[in-house]
Structure 1
Amino acid sequence: MRYNRLGNSELKVSEICLGTMTFGDQNSEADAHAQIERALERGVNFIDTAELYPVPPKAETHTRTESYIGSWVGANPGRRDEFVLASKVTGRSRMLPWMRGDAGELPQLDRSNIERAVEGSLKRLQTDYLDLYQIHWPDRNVPKFGEARFDPDRDWDANPIHEQLEVLADLVEAGKVRYIGLSNETPWGVMEFVRLAAEHDLPRVVSIQNAYNLLNRAFEDGLDEIAYREEVPLLVYSPLAFGHLTGKYLDGAAPDGARLSLYPEFGNRYAKPGVEPASRAYVNLAHEAGLDPAPMALAFCRHQPFTASTIIGATSLEQLDSNLDSLEVTLDDDLLAKIDEVHRRFTNPAL
């Protein structure tokens, strides 16, 4: 296991991060604890969660993931400093009127909502501090979760980024949050956070958590240079494209217990015409190289110079071990060139 520094912070995170969005739905509390134990045993020192989890989000299950992690932390009080713990505050969404218990109100990123969100996360996680606190998605109008274009006609009055940074600065000052990060953010958004932090002596974001995989390399269209030059490295989520890059959904297959078999509507961002032929091409390429498709896809994400950590999610210890075994896979220049050739034929079909 290698460890990478997050931006200009003191945090060094394992190149594989334990994702937890199945805890509380597909995984029980006992499953969650077993995964945490196994990940730590194998050198993972980074756990990522969110107040919204598990997903798909539901009123009756949201926040359960943090509670499951927190019950492990509470049962192992001497081990909190062994790992970097990250969570997220939910951005504005009309689909989540029940968020934070405010029936009929929209969760958003004003002072009251951010402060209540972090207090809730700390209580559920049974910790006094979060190493990394991320804005789950922007409070303003931006393309979200598979949308390809910005639509100015949908604009609204958003809570200013400067004000969001001021609240986060207070949380850092109070010792409740060590560092801050972004998620599902755009190039303009990252640069605005960086600019305002510098102008007003406010905390600087140290990471960005965005979708990135062989079917969606949009991060390379501007955010990659920003990540490098501004020291805001990528935390990759969805490196297997909801499982499409394993090949398990080819030819209309719906394996028992698979996320898209249980929640087919949840994978709409991948329900696009080019996804199947692109997935098949990458699966075939992996087999030609003598690799399983999943380790190849994970290794590709780790290989990128702008990546600090790749978030993996599993529903069993066997799947978790398999994902961690991908650390042994390296991609040579010839295979990377072949991957780029497939990318030219099927450019970002999941976007």
Structure 2
Amino acid sequence: MLGFTVKTVLLGLLTIQGTLASIGQVPKQPTRTGSSSSLGSTGSGTSPHILPVRYADVVRSGSAASLADEKTIENAVTVYNALVTVIRDVVLKAKLTPIGGTEGVSYIESCAEHKAKATKGADTKTGMYTIWPTGKVLDGPKQVWCDMDTAGGGWTVFQRRGYGTITRSSAEKFNKNWREYKVGFGNVLNDYWLGNDAIVAMGARCTNELYVTLTYFDDTVKSATYSNFTLGPESDNYRLHLTGFTTGQAGDIFEKKHDGLVFNTPDRDTADKCATETKSGWWFVNKASKGWCAYVNLNAELKDKATDVDGMTWRYSKLLSGYTAPAIKMAEMKIRPKCPPA
């Protein structure tokens, strides 16, 4: 059954690639180093991947598409990505599932577990990995970016903004609805949100540390770390639980002003319509009493220059002069469990 499935899907991939190639629109599939989620490692530390593609990247990589071709490209990309997902799941389950089934079997839940359980000579470099946030194969895997270098490594990145995009305007938009934030969206190689359900699951067994990295338009990099980060369940609107600011030049304003707040999206907005105004999903403060929607919002719009101060925000106190919010060029949020792997 497994062989039939793999064969069928591979034939499907080849068919779709042929369709795109016929109109000169096939992008070169990238390769990554440092990933344990490849579908066939070379054994040299460089692992080729079958990766999803984006419509914009496909069109940009080939010759100009005619109007007649555009629908063909769009349909082909949709089917291609669906087949990529199937083949990934089939191969990963085949590699990781022992004879006798999946009952009682645990799967790697975080980047920290990848790092801790790596055998001698295993690849633990920063890169794209596969995790099962709930530890159960039937709940499905997630592709994530693992930071294996910062502060001891083992960080699972659940949010990235401004990374690896050709232009700011073509970057992943974070103006998404409740369900999209629930399940996750974006491209792990560029900008993405892991998904609120996955973030909740990763804090179910024990609390996480949070590490935030901010890059400004003058290329200054600042960080903030917290010792306790978890999200409440969807029934409690993914309430933010954040305490224990420890260090970082960015300073703490996130815990002081946002701990205990619930998550909102444009389709499930606050009375102040903050999610709609900022075109993002986030844990918003009371605009009526504070004068703005958030002291921190790293899901707000990407901006092009330092003077655009209404995009990503990390306001910090500056003595008696109030709060300043220099424009942020890139942001990354990542977590690491405080308990050892199961």
TM bucket by the smaller chain? under 0.3
TM-score (norm 2): 0.28
Q: Which has the higher strand share?
A: 2
TM-score (norm 1): 0.27
Q: Which has the higher helix share?
A: 1
Bigger relative contact order, structure 1 or 2 (CA pairs below 8 A, ≥6 apart): 1
